[in-house]
């Protein structure tokens, strides 16, 4: 299997996933920030976003790829592809999924108001969308790909981490977060 966006082989990604996560080269902080950029800049597609990144970011993709090539002890060409996938595709795909989810929710349940959360809310509570009725926030939604329903080790760890954050959300606000799955653009709650 290869990525629809950049063509990288998923096996190559799998082999280096742990090192990439540990390296913090694509930390949630920078990814959260990039999602806000996507909302603001209205890129046409992921290559448009990639171009913006290479022009505007102090650490260019090649610098990050060089660092990753050393850390992971892999060829620079591979490091370049893997870096572009994590920084560009993952951010782009996540942003695109969230925008489609917002549209779908607005069409299906029009009496509510849906808005993207701030990056602080996202880090603290693992939420994507705030749901309001008139002026009152009534709940939160997190949007996930279909693969989220699998049982791989990394998914189990991610689900546990998410549960902890959703418990903190409930303690702080009395509100719950429900999961919306993107099943080929058919959004379903689980």
Min CB(5)–Zn ion separation in Å: 4
Q: Is 85 in the site for Zn ion (CB under 5 A)?
A: yes
**Residue 25 or 131 with smaller CB distance to Zn ion:** 25
Q: Is 61 in the site for Zn ion (CB under 5 A)?
A: no
DSSP codes joined into one string, the chain: -B-TTT--BHHHHHHHHHHHHHHTTT-HHHHHHHHHHHHHH--SSHHHHHHHHHHH-SS-HHHHHHHHHHHHT--HHHHHHHHHIIIIIHHHHHHHHHHHHHHHHHHHSTTSEEEEPPHHHHHHH---EEEEETTEEEEEEEEEEGGGGS--HHHHHHHHHHHHHHHHHHHHHS--EEEEEEETTEEEE-
Interface characters, 87-126, with Zn ion (x: CB under 5 A): --x-------------------------------------
Q: Is 13 in the site for Zn ion (CB under 5 A)?
A: no
Min CB(117)–Zn ion separation in Å: 25
Where along the sequence are the contacts to Zn ion (CB under 5 A)? 3, 5-6, 85, 89
């Amino acid at each position: 299997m290869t990525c629809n966006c950049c063509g990288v082989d998923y096996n190559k990604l799998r082999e280096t996933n742990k090192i990439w996560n540990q390296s913090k080269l694509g930390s949630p902080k920078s990814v959260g920030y990039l999602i806000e950029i996507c909302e603001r800049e209205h890129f046409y597609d992921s290559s448009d976003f990639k171009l913006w990144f290479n022009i505007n970011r102090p650490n260019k993709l090649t610098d990050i790829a060089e660092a990753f090539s050393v850390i992971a002890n892999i060829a620079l060409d591979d490091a370049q592809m893997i870096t572009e996938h994590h920084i560009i595709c993952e951010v782009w795909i996540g942003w695109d999924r969230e925008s489609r989810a917002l549209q779908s929710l607005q069409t299906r349940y029009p009496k509510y108001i849906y808005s993207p959360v701030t990056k602080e809310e996202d880090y603290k509570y693992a939420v994507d969308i705030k749901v309001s009725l008139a002026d009152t926030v009534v709940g939160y939604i997190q949007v996930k790909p279909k693969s989220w329903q699998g049982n791989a080790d990394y998914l189990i760890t991610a689900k546990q981490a998410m549960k902890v954050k959703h418990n903190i959300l409930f303690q702080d606000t009395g509100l719950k977060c429900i999961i919306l799955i993107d099943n080929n653009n058919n959004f379903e709650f689980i």
